[in-house]
Structure 1
Amino acid sequence: MGYSIGQVAEKLNLPSSTIRYYDKEGLLPFIQRKNSGVRVFSESDLGMLAIIECLKNTGMPIKDIKQFSIWCAQGDATLQERYDMFLERKRIVEEQMAELERSMKTIEHKCRYYKAALEAGTESIHKQAVTKK
């Protein structure tokens, strides 16, 4: 079964313009077209679009995602490159998660800080706690 760009956009919750942009940037070299030029997406195309979105959401540059798409089109000869790319992406995402965790700890501290200040009606309670130490 083939899907139209509108159906794909709805299924993946992506704007049609984003899918067209990916196609224009060469990220979707595998997409079939009707004689009229209309794109027809397969189930495997939907899977590839989901991977492209995943990579984009991790901050991977479009040029690197394009390279990944090229490697996919080249088949088994590029399995190592694709594996290495995902290992690197995993390392980057782990670093991002660690940074987000540090940020969350700061935010949680500030939530406690301002909750206590609101309950006391003043921020000066924190200054008093510091001078008592």
Structure 2
Amino acid sequence: MIKYSSNSKTIAWRCDILIQTLHEPKYTVKDVSEITGLTKHTIRYYDDQQLIPFVSRDSNNNRLFSDHDLDWLRMVHSFRISGLPISEVKHYIAMCLQGDETIPERAELVTKQEKELETKINEYNLQLMHIKEKKAYYKSVLAGQLNDTWNPVNNNPECGEKYDIPEHIKSASKAHVSP
């Protein structure tokens, strides 16, 4: 517990201790994995890609992370799960390290990624709508309310009673049979 005092030297000293504690390397990759839920492979990969700027190593060359490193790691992972490429994450980190003068450029990068995500969401919503239409259609076909007119074989009178299915299509169909 930090005691507050009117003595500015005491406050400065306590702040220094707090900062040192935040930057003290104390977590192994295993610890970080348990704390963050990220796989050990992902943590090592992010470090190998130099996405966590201040990771320390012990005398056996094992990675050691501080609380401050965990903040960097969480930021990196949030960008990665948003789809931001590694190169852009590196650029963002470099801008952070340059200081506040890069805030406008960082904001622009975030806005650009937001627009890309919104575009993808719209595309996924259209795909989902199409699949839902297909699902409703097949529900009606299975209930006997509709004939299967979406199957091109049923709409091609030249095929006759029997359609000769090429062997490569038969084998692909067998490979995708549901359990």
Partner of 2:31: 7
More helix by share: 1
Q: Could you tell me how far 1:72 is from its partner in structure 2?
A: 1.7
Change (3 A) 1:108 1:3: same
CA distance in 2, matches of 1:119, 1:47: 55
Partner of 1:37: 61
Unmatched segments (≥5 aa) in structure 2: 1-20, 151-179
Please list the CA deviations of residues 5-46 of structure 1 after superposition, one character each: whole Å capped at 9, or x if unmatched.
111122322221221111111111122333443322233322
Higher relative contact order (CA 8 A, sep 6+): 1
CA distance in 2, matches of 1:32, 1:80: 30
Please list the CA deviations of residues 79-118 of structure 1 after superposition, one character each: whole Å capped at 9, or x if unmatched.
1221111111111111111111111111111111112222
Partner of 1:124: 147
Partner of 1:54: 78
Partner of 1:110: 134
Task: Please give the root-mean-square deviation of Cα atoms over the aligned residues, in Å.
Answer: 2.2
Unmatched segments (≥5 aa) in structure 1: 128-133
Aligned residues, how many?
126
Q: Is the 8 A contact 1:117 1:126 kept in 2?
A: no
Alignment TM-score, normalising by the size of structure 2: 0.61
CA distance in 2, matches of 1:32, 1:82: 26
Larger Cα-atom Rg? 2
Alignment TM-score, normalising by the size of structure 1: 0.79
Pick aligned residue for 1:71 from 80, 84, 95: 95
CA distance in 1, matches of 2:45, 2:30: 14
The alignment-based identity, stated in percent, is 31
Please list the CA deviations of residues 49-96 of structure 1 after superposition, one character each: whole Å capped at 9, or x if unmatched.
222222222322111111111112222232122111111111111111
1:124 alignment partner AA: N
1:20 aligns with 2:44: yes
